[in-house]
Amino acid sequence: MFLRRCLSSSSAAMSLRRSLVGLIINTNYTSLSIRRFSSVSDHDDYFNTLREVFMNPKVFMNDKRETIIDKRPISLRFRVSSLIELCQPYQASLVSRLAVSEKYRTSDSETIIIRDEIIGAMCAAKKYKEAIDLYKFFRSESTLASSSSDVSFNHIIKAHIDENRVDKALGLCNPLYDGVDTCRLLTKALVDTGRTLGALSFVKARKDLRDSVVYSYLIRGFLDLGNHDKAYELFDEFKQKTIHDDAQNRRAVVVDATFVDYWLKQGEEEKGMEIYRSLVEREGELVVCAAATGNTLLEVLLDSGKQTEAWELFNAMIANPETFDRETFTKMVNASFKLGKFKEALETFKRPELTRSSRCYSNIIAQLCDRGMMSEAEDLFSEICSDQYLCPDVPTFRSMINGYAKTGRFNEARKMLEKMVDATLLKFSVHEAQ
């Protein structure tokens, strides 16, 4: 069996054993038995099985969290982050609870980072109940101040929304004011569930709220109901609220783009493009004031099938370093893949204007592997490995492993798996295990 051979390789097994010794005091659980994987088929998700090896679940029975921590000078935050990276949110959540103890707590800011990171990871893994329980634990066991501006609070709001408990999410909020991110989440949730009038009441109750994204959700809700008069009334209200707010005025294009998107999708191209041109044309030339502005309009154009206009806007944006960012390139790369224009996608990714990050590489490598384009993926993987400032992350390794497996190249998949084990667990070997 392919996976059995992979996990039985001496280098992988030794690396795993070293990492387990470094993480776990209780030596009863440090030995790694490869035999338990003998029944796994070649067609299973290799990464999902491998991640079970990284941490023996028996260690966590009876909630013995301190057995996970050894005496090496590696921070609690580092351990939590590493477990999250290894797709172990449950184990990371157990370790994170130690952040409130006197023995392991370093500072409130460190504890907040740990809390936010693990709750975000658990929500991303759709482990909503566990995330909510962990949030309650931190609120009850720590002295951290809680408010609607907390990252974790908004993760919990989003969890309730994703579980179709919008009223429960609303019940957690301040009746008069919440953080902007909270208002965005709840306004969108109310509109998406057909409660546009409820969204209007929610926004009206917060008289000082003048966020462009909130108003864009609300306006789109009324546009979809066919109530154009109310939509334009809200647009005028937003402009009046932000007439002396330079920051919001710069982001007002988000509201304008709502009208562009709506009219284009209604088949009213003349109306939509007239608004679009009023936003970006100055004396016959395309002018974009900020990357966020351009990215919003790029998304609208691409979603509406306006490829020619999108590329024109893209080229205008990258002509000025202040009007584009990595997201600008990601949108165009993804759009090219969606249209099957792989050559254009690679050419866009390799444009000299783009300062490529590990995440940029991860995105395009995943796209290539999904389509079985392993030769191109290998070239980019070699490129990121040779860069002294970058390194492939776990999702990138996973894409390569699954890409090789899909194309039947099991030997290459095994070698890539061994590389992933060594690379991702190297951080656990910063200090020699005693």
Query: In which band, very low, low, confident or very high, does the pLDDT at 74 lie, cut at 50, 70 and 90?
Result: low
Mean pLDDT confidence for 186-213? 94
Give the residue-averaged pLDDT of 284-300. Answer: 85
189 and 227 both lie in a single domain: yes
d(CA 237, CA 216): 12
Percent of the chain with pLDDT over 90: 56
The larger pLDDT score, comparing residue 368 to residue 431, is at: 368
Residue 428 has pLDDT above 60, yes or no: no
Residue 257 has pLDDT above 50, yes or no: yes
pTM of the model: 0.78
> Which has the closest alpha carbon to 32: 20, 40, 44?
20
Residue 302 domain-assigned (yes or no): yes
The DSSP result for 82-104, as a single string, is: HHHHTT-HHHHHHHHGGGGSTTT
Low-confidence winner among 67-76, 134-143, 186-195, 251-260 (lowest mean pLDDT): 67-76
In a domain? residue 10: no
- Helix, strand or coil for residue 350? coil
The CATH number linked to 343 is: 1.25.40
Q: Which residue has the higher pLDDT, 57 or 417?
A: 417
Residue 30 CA to residue 396 CA, distance in Å, equals: 28
* pLDDT of 68 higher than 80: no
Q: What is the spatial distance between Cα 414 and Cα 418, in angstroms, rounded to a whole number?
A: 6
> Are both 257 and 345 inside the same structural domain?
yes
Do 329 and 271 lie in one domain? The reply is yes
Whether residue 92 lies inside any domain: the answer is no
Which stretch of 167-171, 193-197, 313-317, 420-424 has the lowest confidence by average pLDDT? 420-424
Domain boundary among 292, 314, 349: 349
Cβ–Cβ under 8 Å, residues 397 and 423: yes
- Dihedral angle at the C-alpha atoms of 341, 347, 348, 350, nearest 10 degrees? 150
Q: Which of 322, 349, 376 is the last residue of a domain?
A: 349
* Distances in whole angstroms, Cα of residue 139 to Cα of each of 133, 148, 274: 10, 13, 51
Q: Which of 319, 349, 379 is the last residue of a domain?
A: 349
Does residue 35 sit within a domain? no
Same domain assignment for residues 265 and 237? no
DSSP 8-class letter at 177: -
Which structural domain, as residue segments, surrounds residue 327?
Answer: 252-349
Q: With cut-offs at 50, 70 and 90, classify the pLDDT of residue 87.
A: confident
258/233 same-domain check:
no
Do 263 and 193 reside in the same domain of the chain? no
Least confident span in 208-212, 249-253, 285-289, 344-348? 249-253
| Structure token digits, residue 327 | 């997201």
How far is the C-alpha of 235 from the C-alpha of 219, rounded, in Å?
7
Helical H segments across 166-306, by residue range: 166-171, 180-192, 196-204, 212-224, 228-241, 246-251, 253-265, 269-280, 291-303
- Distance between CA atoms of 197 and 259, rounded to whole angstroms? 19
Residues 292 and 228 both lie in one domain: no
pLDDT of residue 246: 66
The overall average pLDDT reported for the chain is 80
Q: Render pLDDT for 10-63 as a digit per residue (tens, 0 to 9).
A: 444 344 333 333 333 222 222 222 223 233 333 344 444 444 434 433 333 334
* Confidence at residue 277, expressed as pLDDT on a 0 to 100 scale: 92
Residue 201 included in any domain:
yes
Tracing tokens 């658990």 back to the chain, one arrives at 122
**Same-domain status, 302 and 263:** yes
In a domain? residue 216: yes
Q: What are phi and psi of 281, to 5 degrees?
A: -100, 130
> If you average pLDDT over residues 219-225, what whole number do you get?
97
- Over range 71-98, report the average pLDDT: 81
Q: Are 194 and 229 within one domain?
A: yes
How many domains, the chain? 2
One domain for residues 197 and 262: no
Q: Are residues 289 and 233 in the same domain?
A: no
Give the percent of the chain with pLDDT over 70. 76
pLDDT at 400: 96
Q: What's the pLDDT score for residue 242? A: 84
Is residue 61 domain-resident? no
What are residue 105's phi and psi, to 5 degrees?
-70, 135
* Phi/psi at 115 (5° precision): -60, -50
Residue 297 lies in a domain: yes
Top pLDDT among 430 and 346 is at: 346
Neighbouring C-alpha atoms within 13 Å toward the C-beta of 177: 8
Please give the residue that has the higher pLDDT: either 183 or 107.
183
Task: Answer whether 235's CB lies under 8 Å from 255's CB.
Answer: yes
Task: Give start and end residues of each alpha helix (H) in 318-349.
Answer: 326-338, 342-349
Q: Out of 20-29, 38-47, 80-89, 275-284, which region has the weakest mean confidence (pLDDT)?
A: 20-29
286 and 224 within one domain: no
CA–CA gap between residue 331 and residue 149 (Å, rounded): 29
